[in-house]
Structure 1
Amino acid sequence: MTTPQHQQATEDTWMFPPADGWTFDQVKHLELPFDWELVDGVIVARGQAMFWHNRVRDRLLAALEGARTEPYEVVAEQCVRIDERNTPKPDVILFDPRQLNFFELECVPPEKLALAVEVVSPGSRQDDRVRKPALYAATKVPCYWRVELDRDRKLAVHEYWLNADTRTYIPAPMHPVHHGKLITELPFPVEIDLDALVGF
């Protein structure tokens, strides 16, 4: 079963996308009992995150907020409109707010992003390691951080820089993986105590 191409999704029909998939404008009004993203025109439920994931996300947000330079702003869980059928919600984004109307903004345009951060959960490994960085790189987001919890319950931050010619990410040359402390110059100078992010 599919839905006619130009019809709005409803709470009863969202699971039956048109042949070409839903567009964001067809689904943005939905009030569903779960958090979701639009992936290739299909509504995909976002899994329940573990406590450590949310704690790391929130503390990373606070660390970036404390270190950010003008003109950047930082926010968590805000959708990015890659195209009309893909609106991922990175865990944290750093973006240039100039010429954006916050009172009308639904999704941040990808060309405004300086950094996208994903904190990897067991149910998001494939997305955070493959699909999402490919989307961000294709739209020229300059920096991508993938935050993972290792077997010793310590954080590792994989830092990637955009290769503008190929629109793919490459590991940051001098520090591809950060342990203990994250120290980088891009997208602005920042030093973050990674052990403090996850410490209880």
Structure 2
Amino acid sequence: MTTPQRGPATEDTWMFPPLHGWTFDQVKHLELPFDWELVDGVIVARGQASVLHNEVRDGLRDALKAAIVAPYRVLTEQCVRVDDRNTPKPDVIVYDRRKLNLPGCDCIPVHKVTLAVEVVSPGSRQVDRVHKPALFAANKVPYYWRVEMDREQRVAVHEYWLNADTLSYFPAPGHPVHHNKLVTELPFPVENDLDALVDI
């Protein structure tokens, strides 16, 4: 169902987007009782994250913050403005803060994002494995990490680099999947004890 409404969404109308979908400016003011993303103009609820998910997310955030070099910064659960109708919220992003007016910034513009990290949950497998990497690659985000638990219930970080010609990701040469310890040079040198994230 859609609504002909062209003004801002309200707490009573957000679930009935206009024919071409809501824009972020029409919905950014909403105070909804759940966390959400805007996907193709539709407000999509984000699932409740588990303690394990949040421990892994925060551990990777802390490792990135400890290794950060100028001009980069790290944020969690921050919306990324791909276009007016798509504002996904990766679990972690590394972004370039230069020339950003932070007081007036609701979302980080996608062209400022250097790395997007998604920690896969049972309800987000398809989105994190297919939809989001395709979206970020098409918008030239250089690096994407997909984080999952492997068969032995260890943290596995799947590291992808952007092919600028095809605008698609390919597994990082030499270390496509990190087990036990994350060691990478891009987007800057980072090391992290992955087993310690879940106390294995």
Q: Which amino acid aligns with 2:41?
A: G
Q: What RMSD, in angstroms, separates the aligned Cα atoms of the two structures?
A: 1.0
Tell me the equivalent position of 2:23: 23
State the shift of 1:5 in Å.
4.9
The corresponding residue for 1:186 is: 186
Structure 1 residue 7 displacement after superposition: 2.0
| One-letter identity of the residue aligned with 1:159 | E
1:121 deviation in Å? Answer: 0.2
1:36 counterpart residue number: 36
Cα shift readout 1:117-139 (whole Å, capped 9, x = no counterpart): 00000000000000000110011
> Partner of 2:163 in structure 1?
163
User: What letter corresponds to residue 26 of structure 1 in structure 2?
Assistant: Q
CA distance in 1, matches of 2:163, 2:151: 31
Gaps of 5+ in 1: none
CA distance in 1: counterparts of 2:112 and 2:5, whole angstroms = 30
Q: How does 1:137-156 map to 2 (within 5 A)?
A: 137-156=137-156
TM-score normalised per structure 2: 0.97
1:151 CA displacement = 2.9
Q: Is the 8 A contact 1:5 1:19 kept in 2?
A: no
- Structure 2: runs of 5+ lacking an equivalent: none
State the secondary structure of the residue aligned to 1:103.
helix
Q: How many residues align?
A: 200
> What SS does the aligned partner of 2:108 have?
coil
Alpha-carbon distance between aligned partners in 2 of 1:40 and 1:116, rounded to the nearest angstrom = 19
State percent identity of aligned pairs: 73
Which position in structure 1 is the counterpart of 2:65?
A: 65
- TM-score of the two chains, using structure 1 as the length reference: 0.97
Shift of 1:65: 0.2
Q: Does the Cα contact within 8 Å between 1:143 and 1:160 map onto a contact in 2?
A: yes
Amino acid in the other structure paired with 1:57: R
The residue identity in structure 2 corresponding to 1:160 is Y
3-state DSSP of counterpart to 1:122:
coil
Distance 2:14 2:113 in 1: 29
Cα distance between partner residues in 1 of 2:172 and 2:152: 24
**1:72-87 alignment, distance < 5 Å:** 72-87=72-87
SS at match of 2:130: helix
Q: Secondary structure at the match of 2:195?
A: helix
Which 4+ residue blocks in structure 1 deviate beyond 4 angstroms? none
**CA offset digits 1:91-111 (Å, max 9, x no partner):** 000011011111111000111
